[in-house]
Amino acid sequence: NAGVTQTPKFRVLKTGQSMTLLCAQDMNHEYMYWYRQDPGMGLRLIHYSVGEGTTAKGEVPDGYNVSRLKKQNFLLGLESAAPSQTSVYFCASDDRAGTGELFFGEGSRLTVL
C-alpha cells in the first residue's frame, strides 16, 4: 500500500527559484495538509484542503501556494524561494473518521541557498 507519497524527497534551490512539491494519496481521503517542520518548532500547518477544488490557509501560509485539482493530489508551490523556507515538508491526509489520525508522507527536505 502506497499511502501518502511525496516527490521530490530532496531538493536544493537557489534564492528566487520556484518549485512545486507533489503529494499523492491513494486512500480516497477528503482532507489533505501541508506542514513544515523546523528544529525545535514541531509541525506547523502551511495550507490545507477539505476537498477537491478547495484550499485554505494554515498558520504559516506566506510564500506558498497550493492547488487541489484532483482529490488524490495536493501540490505545494514556492514561487520565489527564500532561505527561510529551508525546512522539511510533510504532506498528510485524513479520512475524517474523527480519530485524530493523520497519515503522513515520508517528507521532502528542501534547502534554499
Partner 1 sequence: GQSLEQPSEVTAVEGAIVQINCTYQTSGFYGLSWYQQHDGGAPTFLSYNALDGLEETGRFSSFLSRSDSYGYLLLQELQMKDSASYFCAVKRTGANNLFFGTGTRLTVIP
Q: Which residues bind partner 1 (CB under 8 A)?
A: 31, 33, 35, 40-45, 48, 50, 56, 58-59, 90, 98-107
- The single residue listed with the C-alpha cell 481521503 is 29
Q: Which three cell numbers stand for residue 31?
A: 482532507
Query: Distance (Å, rounded) from C-alpha 45 to C-alpha 37?
Result: 9
Closest approach, Cβ 26 to partner 1, in A, equals 16
Q: How far is the CB of 35 from partner 1 (least distance, A)?
A: 8
Q: Give the Å distances, CA to CA, from 98 to 38, 55, 95.
A: 27, 20, 8
For partner 1, the closer of residues 19 and 103 by Cβ is: 103
Least separation in angstroms between residue 54's CB and partner 1 is 10
Nearer to partner 1, 56 or 80 (CB): 56
18/35 Cα distance (integer angstroms): 18
Nearer to partner 1, 18 or 41 (CB): 41
C-beta of 55 vs 85, nearer to partner 1: 55
CA separation, residue 88 to residues 6, 22, 111 (Å): 12, 14, 9
Q: Closest separation between CB of residue 77 and partner 1, Å? A: 19
